A and B are shown apart, each in its own frame.
Chain A
Amino acid sequence: MSLLKIEEPQINSEDNNNDNDLPILGIDLGTTNSLVGIVINNETRFFRDLQGRELHKSVIAFDEKGNIKAIGNDAFENKYPHKIFSIKRLMGKGLDDISISREKYDFEFDRRLGNKDELEIEIANRKFRPTEISSYILKYLKSLAIKGLGLNEDLKIKAVITVPAYFDENAKTATKNAAEIAGIEVVRLVNEPTAAALAYGLENSREGIYAVYDLGGGTFDISILKMQKGVFQVLGVSGNNELGGDDFDEIIINEIFSKKTIESFHLNHSRNILKKIAQKIKEDLSIKQNVFLEEYLDNNLKNIELTKNIFSQIDFENLISSKINETIKITQNLLNDLDLEIGKDKNNVCGLILVGGSSKIPLIRKELNKIFDKTKIYTNLNPDCVVAQGAVMQAFNLGGGNRNILLDVIPLSLGIEMIGGIVDKIIYRNTTIPIIKSKEFTTYADNQTGIKFHIVQGEREFAKDCRSLAQFEIKNIQPLRAGMIKFLVTFKIDADGLLTVSAIDKNSNQKKEIVVKPSFGLDEAQIKNILIDSLKNAKEDIGERITAQNISEAQQNINFLKRDLLEFNDLIANSEREEILLNIAKLERAILSKDNSEISLMIQNLENASQNFILQKMNKSLEKYVNKNIDNI
């Protein structure tokens, strides 16, 4: 085991004290609606817009030149030449990923991009990446909070942000990048259903195993958690990232408007007007048996052609039933995978929590009643706010307000593509994080001098059916017989669920190590560029920034090691200690030189020299803990 690279955002130690005083926001960055809040005097408070509303539409409006004109409810309600809705569905995606039915979007994509690049949306003549759009929404939410708290506007702020449990690595990374661009330091990404469960659990100090069914605007998540005093343990999650209320809106649009109407609104880039009507109808059908469609048409919208006068709840339910059934099947499969049954026994699922605006649809409750018949279905917290409430509570926890811990899992398996395109899974889905797994790989041809690693995420057997996360290559390996060269590939997932991969050539004397992060979203340089675009005072260049990160990582390693060497003095031989101290000195010298490649090299050397000691130390510190606490367990 090597000294781990810490990929968390680095904070300078000088800023640390001031930073800790800053409150941590909880943000629910939803497909349709977003919320931002904080705990004040033990109560959750959401920040409101000028009209006093807590729920902010995740919508951005532009003028005819592509300048941003409005964000949030204003953008949703008023007329603007261009609008972007549901950007969350495009996070971390490339051209390959979007099944573009042209009708679905009010905008075009830049088609010249490679499949490996993040999408670019074309508004007027300007281009926007989903990460960028998402960052504008985050910046807006941040501004509401800053106004609400009476803080200085340029302040960098911390937040817990929720993401769908079933978000893949690319989408999570993209979300983190968007926050960084918005000047928000992400303290933690929390899965939405987990946040919802947290809100329910902490509210009523519930105990037992609960399922959370979360059907939002764009995504469906099912999550099963064990709640106990002070510990929330996620047992498993599943879902579908492309199933949500948006799909129901589409179904309604195609059902009630004539083709001609849909086409003409699409050509005018004003399909969102139809969407707004569909959303209202959908909401009303949760409480009414029938709606009269004429009533939904504004006076100045007389050119709309309807295909019928009355639309009933039954019609609607028939149209969406296959989608609803899919969510039910996913729920059943997760229960099977986890070997769980429904019932009162403490090892069974004792309740179901409904989350997300779409979960208000009566058909969903009817279907869920069939599975969870003997148990309770909880809906008493507002499904629109419950995720945000959980985010705010977790922000409060992480700010030191409480000592509850959240043990989360990764939603999708991670693996490496083998010869023949088959995936060898390294970490299986629903594994508790943080986690590290290693596996040995070898060369397959004689005298092979390079090896390529393709990292994928998903449950399918073939790499082509999984999500491609990153590729990297180790070159100049010694030409030997097939199988003689061995590589140790290590996957590490931190508490946010973000992945780091490294590979070590075990044969060569000089170990080679490459750290890969999912790069499909934006790399450091791209984020930097957007930062320069969007922030007036960005001074440092990319090189400096990377060096600064490297230095801060190096210093952290040195500090930890020095402290541990004192504390665990008896664990190592003198020669080994000297070797470590020598490498620390070399690294310190490299830091002074500010030479980035030198620093990287010395960090690596120090890691190699201290590997054995770190393993010893870990065993020791666990042992100590066991002995101390064994009596009161």
Chain B
Amino acid sequence: MIKNYFKIFSINEEFEINLDLLEEKYHNFQKNFHPDIAGIEKIEESILINEGYNILKNPISRASHILLIHGVNIEDDVEAPKLDKEIIAEIITIRENIAYANHEEKSSIINKIKTDKKTIISRISIDIFHKKYDNAAQELMKLKYLDKILKDLKNELT
């Protein structure tokens, strides 16, 4: 059974959501269900809300959740669709560039990835809007790779 967190938070099942509203609802929920307020009896509700908020607030997990609702599971090792060869090649190239880059070049790679991420997120948003879930899945998997690369790079540079 797939839990639909959009329904639980009663917000429209769209990629573009109002994050302030989501947070407000989340806080209101927890003001009623957090074990500190409601006691241990309501811990399951509190857990469900935490889980849902975590998934919905982040664009990557939110997109992934929308795809899951529509039958495309990119989180499961077995069920996930295969990544396009071009994307694999692209990721490998970025990794190679980083391996040979000096400190300054790495900073510019970081900026490039940040811009790329924004472009990909807007493409995912459009794909989801047009219900092109398979396209969105490819973009999303690429985004996850880029996100990982970006975090590693940032931590390396600080």
A-side residues, CB < 8 A to B, are: 1, 4, 6, 8, 188, 228, 230-231, 233, 329, 332-333, 336-337, 397-398, 403, 405-407, 431-436, 492, 494-495, 560, 614-615, 618-619, 621-623, 625-627, 629-630, 633
**Which of B43-51, B79-87, B121-129 is the contact stretch?**
B43-51
B53 interfacial contact with A, CB 8 Å: yes
Report whether B8 and A231 are in contact in the complex, using a CB–CB cutoff of 8 Å: no
Does B158 sit within 8 A of A, measured CB to CB?
yes
CA distance A228 to B20 in the complex (A): 12
In order of increasing CB-CB distance, the 5 nearest A-B pairs are A332-B158, A336-B154, A626-B10, A495-B35, A432-B50
Smallest CB separation, A231 vs chain B (Å): 5
Which of B10, B51, B154 touches A435 (beta carbons < 8 Å)?
B51
* A-B contact sample (4 more), CB < 8 A, given A336-B151, A622-B29: A228-B27, A405-B36, A435-B50, A633-B28
B121 to chain A, nearest CB (A): 13
A403 with B35: CB separation less than 8 A: no
Q: Would you call B135 an interface residue if the criterion is a C-beta within 8 Å of the partner chain's C-beta atoms? A: no
B contact patch SS: helix
Question: Does any Cβ of A come within 8 Å of B12's Cβ?
Answer: no
Which residues in B have their C-beta under 8 angstroms from that of A432? 50, 53-54
Please measure, in the bound complex, the distance between the C-alpha atom of A343 and the C-alpha atom of B80, giving whole angstroms.
39
**Complexed CA–CA distance, A432 and B47 (Å):** 9
CA distance A404 to B1 in the complex (A): 34
Residues from chain B with Cβ under 8 Å of A629 in the complex: 28
Interface residue? B99 (CB, 8 A): no
Closest to B153 in A: A336
- Which B residues between 9 and 32 are near A, CB-CB below 8 angstroms? 9-10, 21, 24-25, 27-32
The count of A-to-B residue pairs whose CB atoms sit within 8 angstroms is 89
* Chain A hits for B69, CB < 8 A: none
Chain A interface secondary structure, helix, strand, loop or mixed? Answer: mixed
Smallest CB gap from B24: residue in A: A633
Are A8 and B40 touching (Cβ within 8 A)? yes
A337: nearest chain-B partner, CB-CB:
B151
- Residues on B lying within 8 angstroms of A by beta carbon are 1, 8-10, 21, 24-25, 27-37, 40-41, 43-51, 53-54, 151, 154-155, 158
A231–B25 contact, CB under 8 A? no
A427 to chain B, nearest CB (A): 11
B45 lies within 8 A of A405 (CB):
no
Out of B24, B32, B41, B45, name the residue touching A560 (CB < 8 Å): B41
By a CB distance below 8 angstroms, the chain B residues around A492 are 47
B47 touches A405 (CB 8 A): no
When the two chains form their complex, are residues A618 and B31 in contact, meaning their CB atoms are under 8 A apart? no
Chain B residues, Cβ within 8 Å of A4: 43-44
A336 to B158, CA, bound (A): 9
With A228-B27, A230-B31, A333-B155 in contact, is A405–B40 under 8 Å at CB?
no
- The residue on A at minimum CB distance from B46 is A434
Complex Cα spacing A403 to B38, Å: 11
**A436 and B31 contact, Cβ closer than 8 Å, known pairs A188-B36, A336-B154, A626-B8:** no
Q: Please tell me if the beta carbons of A407 and B158 are within 8 angstroms of each other in the complex.
A: no
Measured in the bound complex, the distance between the Cα atoms of B151 and A619 in whole Å is 36
CB-CB < 8 A to A623: which residues of B?
Answer: 8
Contacts of B54 in A (CB 8 A): 431-432
Whose C-beta in chain A lies nearest to the C-beta of B41? A560
- B44, A1: Cβ atoms under 8 Å? yes
Give the contacting residue for A405; candidates B10, B34, B50; CB below 8 A.
B34
Chain A residue nearest to B49 in the complex (CB): A622
Q: Once the chains bind, are B45 and A494 in contact (CB under 8 Å)?
A: no
Contact B34 A618 (CB under 8 A): no
A614-B44 in contact given A336-B151, A626-B8 (Cβ < 8 Å): yes
Known: A231-B27, A629-B28. A407 touches B151 (CB 8 A): no
